[in-house]
Amino acid sequence: MTTAFLNARVFDGRNPTLRDGLVVLVRDGIIAEIGEDVAIPDDAERVDCGGRVLTPGLIDGHVHVVANSVDLTAGVQWPSFVFAQAGHIMRGMLDRGFTTVRDAGGADAGLVRAVEEGWLKGPRLVISGLALSQTGGHGDMRTIYRAPGEATHDRVGSMIGRICNGVAEVREAARDEMRKGAKLVKIMASGGAASVTDPIGNTQFSGEELRAIVEEAVAWNTYVMAHAYTPRAITAAIEAGCHTIEHGNLIDEATAKLMAEKGAWLCPTLVASDILTKFADKYGFSDTSMKKIAFVCERGLESLQIARAANVNVGFGTDLLGLELHEYQCNEFTIRAKVEDPVDTLISATSRNAEMMCMAGEIGEIVVGARADILVVDGDPTTDPEVFTRHGETLKVIMKDGAFHKNDFAA
Ligand code: ZN
Ligand code: ZN
């Protein structure tokens, strides 16, 4: 199957300036040719972009598609129910222009396959499996009434983590998640905002455990993504060899410098705390949780400025929970626009995220040989951060792997 996009203004995912009047030819799911004088085969489907902007499909580097409830402890539900809702959440993401998402805990290989085979409509899923957490860590959602040793190693409903302690157990957990289809290993390396029992200032996992997990990921030719907020936790994770730091809201200059030296990545997720602050009453968060959420929210924009100033590699994530809150996924663009150029956010959400996920050249770029994940949009997302916040209204075309999810130009 061949598709020719004509008269497109191309944002290629990397270059901040648009190129006018291009033809982008897609053959068998791959971008085959780009140029002003591309010979268009007779059997090609023609899409006249009419001078609109054509961009790579968006990438969200931090999602939880099984997080159907803002209260993660409400995870004890039928897996079938949770996964049906995951289908709804994923469909919404694709409708908003996200053609790839990295799941940071919860999604399994069954969901990956369901999308690949077309049983569910959604973005390509790159999964971590269950996030590894120590006892009392950010992924330990047990009530405090649980008996010692009563762990939650089995997947139940919307669970996003599993508990492991000590070098032997963390190795086993990492290997087990990769055996089950995880493409990377996710760990909880510091306290969290939405959780109740773990203070945000603690570190989680010992240096020995962190190094063992990184060793297992590297042995599998992949990497570790680490949830971490504070300079202390980020430093421990980076020194152990973790590749991406998730959130990082409380980062300081010295830590940013260390990350830049190591070539590590920051995946900010500013919209999550922003939205939770707005909906606090509705979801009945405790005062303790709300104080933590308000604190990381305040520091979020500053963390992005500190990271940019130190030349840290910066990706793009959202980390939203709950069925309704996923609607605000693209507010990440408008929030970041308060401190950076919209085109830099867009580069983070396309080519830079692909690099962060070790998928450079495959996704996130309009370049020959890349997968044909393509959006045609009304408006200019390189200058206007609100183009994507209208729930897909501005998207005329959404193509994933060369197949149309949406084509407003079709007769
Ligand atoms: Zn997290
Ligand atoms: Zn998360």
Residue 356, in any domain of the structure: no
Q: What is the pLDDT of residue 150?
A: 57
Distance (Å, whole) CA 347 – CA 385:
12
Among residues 400, 353, 350, which one has the least CA distance to residue 372? 400
In terms of domains, do 50 and 71 share one?
Answer: no
CA distance readout (Å), 182 to 40, 110, 125:
40, 11, 10
In terms of domains, do 241 and 385 share one?
Answer: no
Alpha carbon dihedral 159, 296, 391, 357, in 10-degree steps, equals: -60
Q: What is the pLDDT of residue 95?
A: 97
Checking if the pLDDT of 346 tops 90, the result is: yes
Q: What is the pLDDT of residue 147?
A: 57
Q: Which of 312, 329, 346 is the last residue of a domain?
A: 329
Q: Which of 309, 329, 349 is the last residue of a domain?
A: 329
Q: What is the pLDDT of residue 67?
A: 87
Residue 64 Cα, ligand 2 centroid: separation in angstroms? Answer: 6
Average pLDDT over residues 240-265: 98
Contact between residue 114 and residue 146 where contact means Cβ atoms under 8 Å apart? no
Give percent of the chain with pLDDT exceeding 70. Answer: 93
Condensed to tens digits (0 to 9), the pLDDT of residues 149-161 reads 555 544 455 688 8
Among residues 169, 134, 140, 168, which one has the least CA distance to residue 152? 140
Average pLDDT over residues 67-75: 71
Contact between residue 381 and residue 56 where contact means Cβ atoms under 8 Å apart? no
In terms of domains, do 311 and 182 share one?
Answer: yes
Q: What is the pLDDT of residue 291?
A: 79
Contact between residue 279 and residue 260 where contact means Cβ atoms under 8 Å apart? no
In terms of domains, do 233 and 378 share one?
Answer: no
Residue 334, in any domain of the structure: no
CA distance readout (Å), 396 to 8, 14, 393:
12, 22, 8
Residue 270 Cα, ligand 1 centroid: separation in angstroms? Answer: 11
**Number of compact structural domains in the chain:** 2
Q: What is the pLDDT of residue 153?
A: 46
Q: Which of 329, 347, 373 is the last residue of a domain?
A: 329
In terms of domains, do 195 and 279 share one?
Answer: yes
From the CB of residue 356, how many other CB atoms can be counted at a distance below 10 Å?
27
In terms of domains, do 213 and 266 share one?
Answer: yes
In terms of domains, do 257 and 323 share one?
Answer: yes
**Please, what is the average pLDDT of the chain?**
92
Residue 373 Cα, ligand 2 centroid: separation in angstroms? Answer: 25
In terms of domains, do 70 and 48 share one?
Answer: no
Residue 140 Cα, ligand 2 centroid: separation in angstroms? Answer: 13
Residue 305 Cα, ligand 1 centroid: separation in angstroms? Answer: 20
Q: What is the pLDDT of residue 281?
A: 73
| Tokens at 249, concatenated | 């809201």
Average pLDDT over residues 88-97: 97
Checking if the pLDDT of 194 tops 70, the result is: no
Q: What is the pLDDT of residue 391?
A: 83
Residue 369, in any domain of the structure: yes
Q: What is the CA radius of gyration of the chain?
A: 21
- Per-residue confidence at 197, pLDDT binned at 50, 70, 90? low
- Per-residue confidence at 263, pLDDT binned at 50, 70, 90? very high
Relative to beta strand 53-56, strand 374-377 is antiparallel
| Tokens at 247, concatenated | 């959130």
Instruction: Enumerate the β-bridge partners of residue 376.
Output: 54, 397
In terms of domains, do 154 and 302 share one?
Answer: yes
CATH classification at residue 219: 3.20.20.140
| Tokens at 76, concatenated | 């004890």
Residue 46 Cα, ligand 2 centroid: separation in angstroms? Answer: 40
Residue 335, in any domain of the structure: no
Q: What is the pLDDT of residue 155?
A: 43
Q: Provide the residue range defining the domain that includes 376.
A: 2-57+363-407
Condensed to tens digits (0 to 9), the pLDDT of residues 160-170 reads 889 999 999 99
| Tokens at 235, concatenated | 């430093």
Q: What is the pLDDT of residue 72?
A: 65
Which listed ligand is nearest to 233 at the C-alpha? 1
In terms of domains, do 87 and 141 share one?
Answer: yes
In terms of domains, do 51 and 67 share one?
Answer: no
The H or E element spanning position 265 is strand 265-267
- Per-residue confidence at 15, pLDDT binned at 50, 70, 90? very high
Residue 318 Cα, ligand 2 centroid: separation in angstroms? Answer: 8
Instruction: Enumerate the β-bridge partners of residue 55.
Output: 375
CATH classification at residue 23: 2.30.40.10
Residue 268, in any domain of the structure: yes
Counting Cβ atoms within 10 Å, is residue 6 exposed (0-12), middle (13-18) or buried (19+)?
A: middle
Residue 220, in any domain of the structure: yes
Residue 192 Cα, ligand 1 centroid: separation in angstroms? Answer: 6
Condensed to tens digits (0 to 9), the pLDDT of residues 266-322 reads 999 999 988 888 877 777 777 777 777 878 888 999 999 999 999 999 999 999 988
In terms of domains, do 245 and 301 share one?
Answer: yes
Contact between residue 338 and residue 298 where contact means Cβ atoms under 8 Å apart? no
Contact between residue 126 and residue 84 where contact means Cβ atoms under 8 Å apart? no
pTM for the predicted model, two decimal places: 0.95
Residue 389 Cα, ligand 1 centroid: separation in angstroms? Answer: 23
Residue 382, in any domain of the structure: yes
